[in-house]
Amino acid sequence: MRNRLAAGIVVSSLVVAACGNSGEEAKPTSAPTGAPTAPGETTTTADLSTNNPVDETGVSDTEIKFTSIATIQNNVLGTDIGNAFNDGIDAYFEYRNSEGGIWGRDLVLAKKRDDQLGLNQQEAQAMVAEDDSFGAFVATLQFTGADDLNDAGVPTFGWNIHPQFAGRNSLYGHLGALCFGCVGKATPHLARTIGATKVGVLGYGVENSAKCVDGLVASFEQYGADAGAEVVFSDNTLAFGLSGGVAPQVSTMKEAGVDMVAACMDLNGMKTLAEELDKQGMGDVVMTHPNTYSQTFVAENAALFEGDIVVPQFVPFEYAASGDLRDAFFQYTDDDRSELTMIGWIAADIAYSGLRSAGPDFDRAKVIAALNATTDYSAGGLVVPIDWTKQHNDPTGDESVRSSHECFSPVRVADGKFVPYEATSDAPFLCFDRESAGLDEPVATSFVPEG
């Protein structure tokens, strides 16, 4: 059980720490041509108030009902998952319903199931058996119910930190299928920007975290010379949460002169590591974080994380980027918003986009088909565009299904707060050139739809 939990918790680190939001490199533009739009904006011209009779699960003349399955109790990650995720969905539905909803109906999150960490499949099966919701939202630390939802043809939207999102064409994460252990340019570039020359890479002794470490090591093998940095120490055998301590590893890194640490761990593990670095006189070493985008947590540990770099999987709140969907997010959410609030908001937008594309005679199958024909979903520029014609597939080792982009949007910790790092508010993503064999300079890019 412990190993399975750790696998789920650190999955999100694989995408950002190893290879940005992509699979590999990308060819960016400072002002992307053919800027992406929500699929419904180009596939239907119907009046969204049109209310045709629809005979489908969870649909009445006035409502389209959804169920969420989220980890609330027994959350070992230490930050709010389920409640924050549900808050994001509720806020998004309030926003759309204030505009009249979709196809003459309100969007409703009718049921909020708690999988309590170990009951994910049971909750998914119960949702399918009750057959009273059009679609599902998922934000959990395990996803054992993935096949139950997919095989039942339930459009499912959620927090993609799981390998189970791959190969299932009715499941849509805020990212496409994850690329485990991929080589990427983001972390070597960060080493270059801070002037690091000797890098330590750490991860847990579970498959996904270990592959993340392997990907980071391989990234420096390929791009380290261009960055002026090399990996001088790596360990992918650590106990989850660093329950066995990390003093020997830090001592070895100190002897090797490590001046940057890239880790594939959750935020509590990062705190333990930071404490040990500080204890051994290495408090000035910069760490790159895949899972520490929590203002409260960082503020509480400001001295430990000063100068560190964090990479969320969407445009961070600290970039005042334009875009209607982002503006609405800040209007309809309160000051307690968090990473999972935004993930819930994005998941709800994917569901809305699918309904809009499917048209007024929508059903589950039409929504799934409409989304799977979408080549550039970006949540109004909040995430790197996803091509659902190919990004359901596992990109590991398969160039043909990799994302067309390698982009990331970093922030740095300063006095206990996140501040923008390198990118700009008008162009919050840093994107690398796919055609460049070496470590090119990233281009600051926006994916906000034009107009």
| CATH code, domain carrying 325 | 3.40.50.2300
Q: How many whole angstroms separate alpha carbon 391 and alpha carbon 202?
A: 28
**What are the counts of helices (DSSP H) followed by strands (DSSP E) for the chain?**
15, 15
Q: Tell me how far CA of residue 151 lies from CA of 128, 162, 170, in angstroms.
A: 10, 17, 9
Residue 180 lies in a domain: no
Residue 36 lies in a domain: yes
- Say whether pLDDT at 133 is over 50: yes
Residue 24 lies in a domain: no
164 with 195, same domain? Answer: no
Number of separate domains in the chain:
2
Residue 106 lies in a domain: yes
208 with 357, same domain? Answer: no
282 with 335, same domain? Answer: no
225 with 329, same domain? Answer: no
- Say whether pLDDT at 13 is over 80: no
224 with 76, same domain? Answer: no
63 with 139, same domain? Answer: yes
Residue 330 lies in a domain: yes
Residue 229 lies in a domain: yes
Is residue 145 within 8 Å of 69, Cβ to Cβ? yes
User: What is residue 45's predicted lDDT score, i.e. its pLDDT?
Assistant: 53
> pLDDT-based confidence at 275, cuts 50/70/90?
very high
pLDDT: which is higher, 61 or 323: 61
169 with 95, same domain? Answer: yes
pTM > 0.85: yes
264 with 386, same domain? Answer: no
285 with 430, same domain? Answer: yes
Residue 13 lies in a domain: no
Beta bridge partners of 235: 202
Q: How many whole angstroms separate alpha carbon 293 and alpha carbon 391?
A: 25
379 with 331, same domain? Answer: yes
Residue 8 lies in a domain: no
84 with 162, same domain? Answer: yes
pLDDT per position as a tens digit, 65-108: 999 999 999 887 778 899 999 999 999 999 999 999 999 999 99
Range of the domain at 308: 186-312+407-445
255 with 376, same domain? Answer: no
- Say whether pLDDT at 283 is over 90: yes
